[in-house]
Amino acid sequence: MPVDKAIITHAHADHARPNHNKVLATEDTINIMKIRYGNDCANFFQIAKYGERIYLDGTVITFFPAGHILGSAQILIEYKKIKVLVTGDFKTIPDRTAQRYQLVKCNHLVTETTFGLPIFKHPDPKKEIKKLIDSIKNNVEKCHLVGAYALGKSQRIIKLLRDAGYYEEIYIHGALEKISNYYSYKNIELGKVVKINKENKKLIRGKLVIAPPSALKDRWSRNLSNIKLCMASGWMSVKQRAKQKLVELPLIISDHADWNELTSTIKESGAEKVWLTHGRDEGLRYWCKINQIEAQALSLKKED
Ligand SMILES: [Zn+2]
Ligand SMILES: [Zn+2]
């Protein structure tokens, strides 16, 4: 539902919608929104720089890096002496395709809880990428098709591959093209990335193709032959999910905080009250209780 003033944490579709009157967001978020929804997807845009104090309706708003995707932000709202931090989607571990997460002290913390259960402990992404590179080396007759979200996850996978010494050209689904170009324009070196088409489709033997998860099941991917299906997602730690989706090589790579990151963020924020949203709250509610931190689920209005 469009509003008069929207403060937007990052450009993923479940957080950034078109047709608001005024949008306050980081420059990257605004640019990516324009790429996805068009230049006129809001009437007015105001860029928030990280750390800049913005006075709005009697409050002070400050954006801090959330480490989730390029341009992602946590938003601090100060009213009188009370500080409320909304994390948006975040992760605390380093990611060379996103601005480095910053810890922010606050009185009230509104945190995402996507992986808010103790079973979720994400492995080192470098190890997961090594599995992929080894599999490519050991299956030269196959094309590795990796399902990864078009914004953020795909570019992170490509960057991780490059950092691990994989320099072959990487083929991408058309849905990734503009966003990947934007990341390159922002000096995130992705190496040789080629959009897949009818002609080069025959050349993908022994190579890697990245496509959004939605494209894995449709006609597009049925046209590719001799595929090894991979999926890069935090949910791949749930073996049943990988099986259901017929994923042969699950890669546990997440852009969301895992259980340890969530609990240490809650502790280190110094918040006396925690609001849990965007995922599962029961595990964290219990954890907060035994750590004597007040916690409550926050249900947000669905906007569809
Ligand atoms: Zn997100
Ligand atoms: Zn989200």
What is the 89 CA–ligand 1 centroid distance (Å)?
A: 5
Taking residues 153-164, what's their average pLDDT?
A: 98
Please tell me the pTM assigned to this model.
Answer: 0.96
What average pLDDT is seen over the chain?
A: 96
How far, in Å, from the CA of 69 to the mean position of ligand 1?
7
Classify residue 95: in a domain, yes or no.
yes
CATH classification of the domain holding 49: 3.60.15.10
Edge-to-edge strand order for the sheet containing 193-195?
193-195, 170-172, 208-211, 143-147, 227-232, 249-251
**Which band of pLDDT confidence, cut at 50, 70 and 90, is reported for residue 304?**
very low
- Least distant ligand from the CA of 12: 1
- 158 in the same domain as 72: no
Q: Identify whether residues 74 and 168 lie together within a single domain.
A: no
CB 210 within 8 A of CB 143: no
241 and 165 co-located in one domain: yes
Closest ligand to the CA of 91:
1
Closest ligand, as measured to the CA of 254 = 1
Structural domain tally of the chain? Answer: 2
Note whether 215 and 99 are same-domain residues.
no
Q: In this structure, are 110 and 191 located in the same domain?
A: no
Query: Per mean pLDDT, which range of 19-33, 138-152, 218-232 is the poorest?
Result: 218-232
pLDDT at 219 over 80: no
Residue 74 resides in a domain: yes
Q: Residue 302: its pLDDT value, please? A: 55
Which residues have CB under 8 Å from 68's CB, separation 6+? 10, 88, 89, 90, 91, 98, 152, 255, 256
For residue 151, report the distance from its CA to the centre of ligand 1, in Å. 9
**Same domain assignment for residues 109 and 182:** no
- Domain limits at 277? 5-119+256-297
In a domain, 39, yes or no: yes
Cα of 75 from ligand 2 centre, angstroms:
14
Q: Are residues 144 and 227 in the same domain?
A: yes
Q: Is residue 21 part of a domain?
A: yes
Q: How far is the CA of 135 from the centre of ligand 2 (A)?
A: 30
Which ligand minimizes its atom distance to the CA of 10? 1
- Say how many Å lie between the CA of residue 68 and the centre of ligand 1: 7
Q: For residue 303, tell me if it sits in a domain.
A: no
Tell me the CA distances in angstroms from 79 to 59, 84, 107, one per residue in order. 5, 8, 11
Q: What does the angle CA 164 – CA 167 – CA 31 come to, to the nearest 5 degrees?
A: 85
- The verdict on 106 and 139 lying in the same domain is no
Regarding whether 291 and 211 lie in a shared domain, the answer is no
Quote the ligand 1 centre to 147 CA distance (angstroms).
16
- 87 and 175 belong to one structural domain: no
Give residue 71 CA to ligand 1 midpoint distance, Å.
11
Amino acid at 89: D
- Please check whether residues 188 and 150 belong to one and the same domain: yes
CATH assignment of the domain containing 149: 3.40.50.10890
* 242-291 per-position pLDDT tens digit: 999 999 999 999 999 999 999 999 999 999 999 999 998 999 999 999 99
